[in-house]
Structure 1
Amino acid sequence: MTEALYLNDSYMRSFDAVVTNVDDTGVYLDRTAFYPRSGGQPSDLGVLIRGDQVFRVEGVEPSEHGICHRAHGLSPGDKVKGEIDWERRYRIMRSHTACHVLSAVIFRETGALITGNQIDTDRSRVDFSLESFDRSMIETYVRMANDLIKEGHPVRVRLMTRDEAMEIPDLVRLAKNVPERESVRVIEIEGVDLQACGGTHVRNTSEIGEIRLVKAENKGKSNRRVYFELVR
């Protein structure tokens, strides 16, 4: 299986690796900093370099054989250097952490759970189990999220045993869907939020900048969809 370097260091832009397998879908490495599409976060893009040859990575997917990089032309045993499209990755990191802050505010104010999400470089969305739809209140929640973002809260990665994670009431709503494994990766925004999450995040909320409400809409009974974007 592929060693997932991004789990411990979201800021790793390049890395060295060895090709372990190749099939019709792409290339497998012994280690990677490329994030595979999952949990509402899109995959990283970038390149794999072998000598003076550059192979474009057009997507990354999780699979039962490891992490598959959609690139072609490499062979098992090849030594490569991976380089991530950092500008794209960093915007996704900022958007993902903003999603955690906003969902923490809405959960605190209403008790609403997250029913879906899609993170992107420009516009992201989060679905909430809100009974009523009130755009003015959602605008208020976005302002509250921006206030927390500006305060500059540290963001940390923590590993908990599954038993420890399931004992935290606000974490159970997310951790209960985590596959059975000994440890649960948790993203802690100090003083703001604690969520089970396998995605990439910034180190401090001040890196997010400001978010702007794009639109909010009904998506069925007790399901409200909120779109937001990074201001810069």
Structure 2
Amino acid sequence: MIRQYQKGFSLIELVIVIVILGLLAATAIPRFLNVTEDAEDASVDGVSGGLATAVSFVRSQWEVDGRNNPNVVLDGATISLDDSFGFPTGSTNVDAAAMTDLTCQEVFDNVLQNAPRNVLFNEDAKSQRYVVRVESGKGGNGSGTAINLDGKSVGGIDLCVYYLVESLTLNQNSGIATPAPTRVTGAKTKGVTYNPGNGQVQSFITK
């Protein structure tokens, strides 16, 4: 009768394999995290660029129309704007110093073709890409460019902020961003700002 011997891995061999796997994981995980960060940054920059282009189209149409209309028509859609500056302010609002969360959302949805999914900051954002919040008076002053306001300074302009949902902490039950999104230092948020007084669109990352 022939005896068959079954040989397995020794304890030393197993330890060596575990150590190697640990080293590989320690090297690979940060790279995967960086890939995720890069993808989020690219998403924000892409939306920022698209919004900036769309805002410039609205402004250009306003210029063509003679700088004195409270709205323009682009691709069949009527877009309201502050006729002191010529930049979009939503569907019905025509004052860059009277923006709301809703009118900021309207700008996002109306000027962008196929705008990313979004909700107001105090709504369920579980299946959304961006949440929208206005920062009252944070847009500073703007220089009027309408025919009757050329060069006149206008203050108290609001700022629209579009936060990337992936950079927020959502309540597991309600899906609402908790705490409410902000751009203060330490918030670690990402997104896009839009100033309806000068048309400036910028991406941001707070750390």
Which structure has the higher relative contact order (CA within 8 Å, separation 6+)? 1
TM-score between the two structures when normalised by the length of structure 1: 0.27
Question: Larger % of helix: which?
Answer: 2
TM-score between the two structures when normalised by the length of structure 2: 0.30
Question: Larger % of strand: which?
Answer: 1
Larger radius of gyration: 2
